Amino acid sequence: MIASLGMYDFGPAQAANDRYWALIRQNLSTRGIAAPERLTRGEAAYFPAWTSPDLVLSQTCGYPFRARLYGRVACVGTPDHGVADCPPGYYCSVFVVRADDPRAGLADFDNAPFAYNEGLSQSGWAAPQVHARRLGLRLPPSLRTGGHQASARAVADGRADIAALDAVTWAMMQGVDAVTDRLRVIARTEPTPGLPYIAALGTDAAV
């Protein structure tokens, strides 16, 4: 059996996720459903968990859900993180640049070096690229970082000029990751559906 909540699982959120999972596990137990005692973390919390026939619960990104997981997993639902100016269950990306960069708006970053976490990310790649194209702008990929926090550091350190981060992750970084003091938000994408909870195919999502 596998359960993971790796999409928002750093800093103080790890302890919160452990408590959250304990409550979910307790509820499943009262219904006679077995579940692992602990959350899986590390690389095994992502695609290895998502594609496992033993998956009890996880959270994936919307882009890999559409591109690789749809029809292979059960969609349980989408949590609402209360992102400002987004409908319930939706979120957005924030474009971050260095705090001392004199450029004022997103249009000023046309053709600027863009850091992204990975090509299958909704918030770090797909949504910002669609947003830029609608404005007639280009954000050429210059650095693949492997994670939103790493993208933020890449911009702060001058290895890229701009990045797009999941708005929930950005909010979680405040007061936890000092890199946020070296960055500022210059724009946001349109809201898109939030990160869905999934389980192994055949799971009764209503449970």
Helices (H) and strands (E) in the chain, counts: 6, 11
**pTM metric for this prediction:** 0.93
* 97 and 180, same domain (yes or no): yes
Domain that holds residue 11: 2-80+194-200
pLDDT of 57 strictly over 90: yes
Pick the closest to residue 60 from 198, 172, 166, 170 (CA basis).
Answer: 198
Per-residue pLDDT band for 205 (boundaries 50, 70, 90) equals confident
* 98 and 19, same domain (yes or no): no
CATH code of 185's domain: 3.40.190.10
Give the per-residue pLDDT at 166.
Answer: 98
Pick the closest to residue 61 from 195, 200, 166 (CA basis).
Answer: 195
CB atoms within 10 A of CB 71: 6
* 100 and 182, same domain (yes or no): yes
Give the per-residue pLDDT at 204.
Answer: 81
Per-residue pLDDT band for 103 (boundaries 50, 70, 90) equals very high
Q: Give 11-14 contacts, CB < 8 A, sequence gap 24+.
A: 11/172, 11/173, 11/176, 11/177, 12/176, 13/172
Give the per-residue pLDDT at 129.
Answer: 98
The 10s digit of each residue's pLDDT in 133-192 is 999 999 999 999 999 999 999 999 999 999 999 999 999 999 999 999 999 999 999 999
Rg (CA), the chain: 18
